[in-house]
C-alpha cells in the first residue's frame, strides 16, 4: 500500500450543528414525531457518547472532516449499508490541499433514519446532499461518491450543475433504469415489501452479535469481496454497542435499505438528468465488476463514455477496491483533481 502523504487526524472535538425547522422540514418532521432531542434519537445519543471525538453533527446527518475548512471542499458519500469510513484508507493518499467532508447518509452509521413505516425514496437522499452543501454554505464543491453515493452524485450534478465543480464516481455509472410498462408491478412490489418488512420488525428485538460475528455476517452477505480488515473498518462505525458495554452489537443501518428504491424512470428520462452534468467527471470502474455495463447499466455506460467531459478508467479489483486496495485508485483520483479541479 502506498504511504500516506500526510496524516489525517480524527476531529479533535465534536461540534453540534442544527438546522431550524424552516430550513429543513423533513428533518423537523422526523425530530418532532420520533426523537426526544432535535436531530438525535436515543440510538444516536448512545452512539455519539461512544464516538464523540469523531463526529460533526449536521441535524440528522453525521460526518467526519479531514483537513482545514478554509480549503476547497470535497464531499465524500458512501454506498448502500456502508458508512463514511469506506474512504478511511483512500483519503490519506489524496492531496492535502482539500477539506474532505465524509458523511453518513440517513439510515447509515451514526446518522438518524428517515421516518419509519414508509418506503425510502431516492430523491430524499439527493435532498440530503443539498442540506449538507447548504449547511456549510458551499457555492460549489468537489463530489466523490462510491456506488450508491456515486449514483446520488450523478443526479445531484445534473440537478444542481452550478454547485459541483468536479464529480468523481467509484464503480457505478448511475441508477439503473426501469421499463415503464412494469411500473404498476414495480410500485406494488415496493409498497408490499416495505409493509411486509415493517410487520416483521414490529415488536421484534434487533439481532445481537459479537463484533467478530457481525464482521463475518457483513462479509458473507455482501455481493462484493471485502477483506477482513475492510469489513472491520466498516463495522466499527456500522454497529451499535448494546447497553453500552461488552461484546454485544446490533447493526445501525436502516433495514429498509435492503429494499429497492432507485428512480422509477426509463433511461430516456435519466438521460435528461445526465446530459445536464456539465462539470468534469471521472468514473473509476472495477474490472471484476464490469458485467453490469453490458446489462442493466449498459445505457448509462454507453451514454457517459461518449461525453466530452467524462473520463473513464478501469482498475483491477472488485466493487470495494477503493477500500480494499486504495493504492490502485488514489493516483487516478489525484491526477484528476490536479488536472480539472485546481483552485
Could you give the CA distance from residue 35 to residue 106 in angstroms, rounded to a whole number? 14
Residue 57 and residue 48 in contact, taking contact as beta carbons nearer than 8 Å: yes
Residue 129 and residue 154 in contact, taking contact as beta carbons nearer than 8 Å: no
The SS3 assignment for 138 reads coil
Rg (CA), the chain: 19
Residue 17 CB partners (closer than 8 Å, separation 6+) = 56, 57, 58, 59, 135
- The label of the residue with cell 457518547 reads 49
Could you give the CA distance from residue 144 to residue 78 in angstroms, rounded to a whole number? 9
Residue 158 CB partners (closer than 8 Å, separation 6+) = 273, 274, 275, 276, 277
Three-state helix/strand/coil letters over 67-127: CCCCCCEEEEECCCCCCHHHHCCCHHHCCCCCEEEEEECCCCCCCCCCCCCCCCCHHHHHH
Indicate which residue of 147, 177, 224, 230 is catalytic.
147
- Assigned C-alpha cell, 12: 479533535
Whether 147 sits among the annotated catalytic residues: the reply is: yes
Q: Residues 265, 266, 268, CA angle at the centre, nearest 5°?
A: 115
Could you give the CA distance from residue 322 to residue 151 in angstroms, rounded to a whole number? 16
Rounded to the nearest 10 degrees, how much is the dihedral formed by the CA atoms of 331, 333, 338, 340? 140
Q: Any idea which residues carry the catalytic annotation?
A: 147
Amino acid at each position: 500500500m502506498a504511504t500516506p502523504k500526510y496524516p489525517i487526524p480524527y476531529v479533535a472535538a465534536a461540534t453540534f450543528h442544527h438546522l431550524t425547522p424552516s430550513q429543513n422540514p423533513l428533518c423537523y418532521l422526523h425530530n418532532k414525531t420520533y426523537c426526544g432531542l432535535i436531530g438525535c434519537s436515543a440510538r444516536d445519543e448512545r452512539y455519539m457518547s461512544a464516538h464523540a471525538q469523531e463526529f460533526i453533527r449536521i441535524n440528522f446527518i453525521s460526518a467526519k472532516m479531514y483537513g482545514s475548512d478554509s480549503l476547497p471542499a470535497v464531499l465524500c458519500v458512501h454506498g448502500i449499508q456502508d458508512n463514511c469510513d469506506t474512504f478511511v484508507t483512500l483519503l490519506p493518499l489524496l492531496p492535502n490541499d482539500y477539506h474532505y467532508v465524509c458523511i453518513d447518509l440517513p439510515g447509515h452509521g451514526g446518522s438518524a433514519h428517515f421516518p419509519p413505516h414508509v418506503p425510502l425514496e431516492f430523491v430524499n437522499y439527493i435532498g440530503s446532499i443539498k442540506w449538507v452543501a447548504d449547511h456549510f454554505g458551499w457555492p460549489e464543491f468537489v463530489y466523490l461518491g462510491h456506488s450508491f453515493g456515486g449514483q446520488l452524485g450523478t443526479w445531484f450534478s445534473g440537478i444542481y450543475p452550478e454547485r459541483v465543480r468536479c464529480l468523481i464516481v467509484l464503480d457505478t455509472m448511475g441508477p439503473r433504469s426501469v421499463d415503464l410498462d412494469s411500473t404498476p408491478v414495480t410500485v406494488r412490489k415496493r409498497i408490499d415489501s416495505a409493509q411486509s418488512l415493517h410487520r416483521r420488525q414490529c415488536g421484534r428485538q434487533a439481532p445481537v452479535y459479537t463484533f467478530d460475528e457481525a464482521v463475518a455476517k457483513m462479509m458473507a452477505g455482501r455481493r462484493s469481496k471485502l477483506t477482513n480488515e475492510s469489513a472491520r473498518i466498516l463495522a466499527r462505525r456500522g454497529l451499535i454497542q448494546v447497553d453500552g458495554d461488552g461484546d454485544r452489537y446490533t447493526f445501525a443501518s436502516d433495514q429498509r435499505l435492503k429494499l429497492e428504491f432507485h428512480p422509477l424512470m426509463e433511461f430516456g428520462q435519466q438521460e435528461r438528468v445526465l446530459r445536464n452534468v456539465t462539470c468534469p467527471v471521472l468514473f473509476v470502474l472495477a474490472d471484476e465488476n464490469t458485467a453490469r455495463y453490458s446489462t442493466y447499466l449498459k445505457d448509462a455506460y454507453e451514454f457517459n463514455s461518449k461525453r466530452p467531459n467524462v473520463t473513464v478508467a478501469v482498475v483491477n479489483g472488485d466493487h470495494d477496491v477503493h477500500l480494499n486496495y486504495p493504492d490502485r485508485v488514489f493516483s487516478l483520483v489525484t491526477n484528476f483533481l490536479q488536472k480539472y479541479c485546481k483552485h
